Amino acid sequence: MFDVFEKLKKLSRELIEVLGLVLVVAILVSALFGPEVPFFGGIMANVQGMVDALGSSGLGVVVALLILYFWSRR
């Protein structure tokens, strides 16, 4: 039973790592080639909106995100 949980935990960590890399590539492509790039074009506006929302929500959200980040790196 615990073996299933370990496999699920490993799979979720690998998925998070791959999605993080896709996000980094999308931001770089959008920054280099502008918003007209198919699939990656609107990522900068979305990231900017998310950063603005975090700024208006206060420091608590940023601290919570940092805790989640470091917990996932464990």
Query: Does residue 27 contact residue 44 with C-beta atoms inside 8 Å?
Result: yes
The range of the structural domain enclosing residue 59 comes to 2-72
User: Does 34 or 3 have the greater pLDDT score?
Assistant: 3
Distances (CA, A) of 38 to 22, 26, 32, 42, 50: 14, 10, 13, 9, 21
Angle, helices 43-57 vs 59-72, to 10°: value is 120
Instruction: Kindly report, residue by residue over 27-69, the tens digit of the pLDDT.
Output: 888 888 887 888 777 887 887 787 777 676 666 667 777 777 7
Count of the separate structural domains present in the chain: 1
pTM over 0.75: no
Query: Does residue 55 contact residue 65 with C-beta atoms inside 8 Å?
Result: no
